Structure 1
């Protein structure tokens, strides 16, 4: 790895900070929920401290500076030029998606997702009394692709599609051709498309993702964006919704206001602006660090634990591990690793039944912690195999 000016090596003690990742279950090495164990970008911390020095923390408006920061970032990095009048503020991607489901579909409507996919997609659909339709991705020769024939057939029965771009958990960057085909099929069946692009900045060095709205001319699309994953500021609960469709825009705006999901955290604007304006160098070093961590995992599995295969990916800090040779359900495997080794990896079945041969591993952590997690994974697999072998002998 190149020399860095930011600290991605120090292990930060996050226990007793009301951390969802470290305090909810008390596992020794939690590598499940998607936040990072790195120090935040210095520019963000500096800006937050400056705001915190002001002794009043009252109700906060969403200032134009926040929207300008989004516009400049996507224009500069991805040639995606947004207009202020097409943007809405939201306290998070999933709260806004929940609002969109309520105002753009009816109860018992079908909403299509492409599994394996972010598990909250399932919950937000079902909790709003809609039906999940799964367009299962094709897994072949260690890589994922879209089953467009199945997608065509299921979109004919759907009112909405939820796209994950890049894809969580498989780390796939969808090509412009793939996105254009999705847009064509949504137009054919008059389906509203929500594109969750929250992991967009977390690609391998030198690799860029393709925004849906620069890859397709379909108009009934809503893009959800946030710096929360890229800069590890999910606790500030901030995102935006973008759509050029005036009818969709007004419906979403009204529903988010009804749901009170359009309010702003007192520190949110400060954090977002500092991220997009002053933290690009930190992000580039982060991407190098994540890429190096990915190589560590690849080499470790090949040399120390070849029974588990790494699914190749170009984006996110979430690795999708093919554990099919273990012949153990992902729920059983995940729970065994927690109980036996204190290692918490996400069960693949959480992302759809088609993910049951997999585990999801969060590698956004210092190398020392990553190596510890891999060592525990190896010890856990050996222990599980020994138990299975013993059971066969009796």
Structure 2
């Protein structure tokens, strides 16, 4: 009798597991929206957003805002998605069974497939779908990091009654750069994220403290904040290095100096990695060429320097630190508040990466 009881108990536990998994719950972190919450739990917002809203309709705040301390149901993984992924992987492995570097080849081929539409909700609804138009950066992976964020706005400039927060402008340019890189066939990891902002064309970007480090709250303590983003990059890199032949990180900032000091874009590299110095020089050379073309009588005074900044020395992949200008200076502010200028900056940064990637090859 006792034996039959244990067998029955075993079967009950076995068949209860899927039910419990289907009702997996979690509470949001500070600053998280639905898309970021889903991403943190390995659910694509594109596939699971509506399911999440349906499951948690009564618990959501106004405009579908997540409430702190509330436990939300995570949509169960769709079986069709898992099976189709398995079938696709099997098919790809069969076609490349004789290739000793099949994983790398598959990743590169996927990145290089011209015409593929990738979806990135962080870009905003209008720009979320990204069409791959080139394979020039196929086989490359980038970690794009905008400076500060969350409780730290960074440097603050002023134009009339408007405050210009460094983290908002650095983030907008970071998103534009990420999208440009994706169009060229690259894989991109956006480290600092705001689930609501997206790419914005407004001259004066609204300020918030929603930014997270890929879903995790950003600490106020400076060392902890920098350590957090470096650790995230290094963890991703340990896997990415096996699949991509070129991995680079970029840290995007806006400088703050005296109001009368106009500066061009300048670059820092770590003293420990030759690849970091080469990247910074290639970035600078690209900007110099662009200024010679578009403003031939102005010249370009941007510089390259070696510094052991925390994020440069604690990040495993080669990286570059970019200062986009002086947020206090009237002329440099035009570089930030005009969306066309922000787009140009992001495009030139992408072309700097392209120049460096070609040199590496």
Same fold by TM (over 0.5)?
Answer: no
TM-score by length of 2: 0.26
TM-score (norm 1): 0.24
Asked which structure has the greater RCO (Cα within 8 Å, sep 6+), the reply is: 1
